[in-house]
Amino acid sequence: MITPSDFADRILTFYHQHGRKDLPWQQQPDAYRIWLSEIMLQQTQVATVIPYYRKFLSRFPTLKDLASASLDEVTSLWSGLGYYARARNLHKCAQTLLNHHDGEFPRTAAALEALPGIGKSTAGAIAAFAFGEAAAILDGNVKRVLARCFAVAGWPGESRVNRQLWQLAERLTPAQSTASYNQAMMDLGALICRRSKPACDQCPLEDICQARQLQRQTDFPGRKPRRERPTRTASFLVLRDTRGQILLQRRPPTGIWGALWCLPECPAQETDPGPWCAREFGVEATDLRALASLRHSFSHFDLTMEPLLAMIRPADCRIMERPDCQWVSHDEALQLGLPAPVRTILLNLETGE
């Protein structure tokens, strides 16, 4: 079995030869930029994150700017990136730092982990990249590299497997050059030790990788047990007044699309959306017309969305007075924090009529 120091040497050599050193958040690697990028990189690939990262940094150059922004503005910039709890936690974390930490990030992984949206791996990444702490990380890339190299069987979602991988990660992470090592492990997972078609001939661990010796690379890490995904259907109302304004409703603060602006969702059991509209919003919807339905998948169910276009009678246009609702123009709507499929429905409205 390879010694931790030989392992780290190989990874660091790989870093110097092939590691990514030109990512946007590596240019001025302060804690704010590292944190922002790490939160975005949870569940999301580098290529997707880059435009969002630039947008955020340009609108919120400092932690203070982010903390003093409204949640609405943060979710609006986050719109389309998914897992919106990350945006809520990002905003909350910025305010916590301003209010309780003198506007500074704590400098240890242990203290970082206490902040909203920062778990063990993200804490390790920030501590290592921003402050040089010898903290281990275990993101999806590192899990794949370690699971293959050491043939760790089982799905990392199982706590036994997760513990084993953390133990390996911590044992192998070097006390020096930790940031380069961590970056290299992520790069190795993302570029070489890919989920499918790993480029083993370019891997610095090729000769010691147990999965490769077994010719079973893609069996590691073990897959998440399959579960069937139910399908739900719901109608979403595009209520338009005579001036072409549209009614949007804010989602509850947590849960699906939490705190985002959405088209009013008419429950599936409502056979006739007209009366529901009258009860719920006190408006009379006329000229109901079905728009093209779309399928949207969540991690644990599929949603068939059936958009319904309806007119609001002129007399009803402004009777709507609810704090969770607003009438907006088409263009204003697109500026808000909308779930991706709602954005699609509104964009189709322009072209698809």
Q: Could you tell me the two tokens for 348?
A: 């189709």
- d(Cα 218, Cα 212) in Å, to the nearest integer? 9
Beta bridge partners of 93: none
Closest contact distance (angstroms) between CB of 341 and DNA is 6
- d(Cα 4, Cα 2) in Å, to the nearest integer? 7
Closest contact distance (angstroms) between CB of 34 and DNA is 12
Q: Does 38 participate in catalysis according to the annotation? A: yes
298 binds DNA (CB under 7 A): yes
148 binds DNA (CB under 7 A): no
Number of alpha carbons in the 13 Å side-chain half-sphere of residue 300: 2
Closest contact distance (angstroms) between CB of 319 and DNA is 31
45 binds DNA (CB under 7 A): yes
Which residues have CB under 8 Å from 307's CB, separation 6+? 235, 236, 237, 238, 263, 290, 291, 292, 293, 294, 345
Beta bridge partners of 238: 309
118 binds DNA (CB under 7 A): yes
Member of 17, 22, 47, 244 binding DNA (CB under 7 A) = 47
Member of 34, 63, 74, 123 binding DNA (CB under 7 A) = 123
**Interior/surface letters 244-260, b for 16+ CB within 10 angstroms, e for the rest:** ebbbbbbbeeeeebebb
340 binds DNA (CB under 7 A): yes
81 binds DNA (CB under 7 A): yes
Closest contact distance (angstroms) between CB of 26 and DNA is 17
Q: What does the binding site for DNA look like in residue numbers (CB under 7 A)?
A: 41-45, 47-48, 80-86, 89, 115-123, 139-141, 143-144, 156, 159, 194-196, 221, 223-224, 226, 229, 254-258, 296-300, 339-341
Catalytic residues: 38
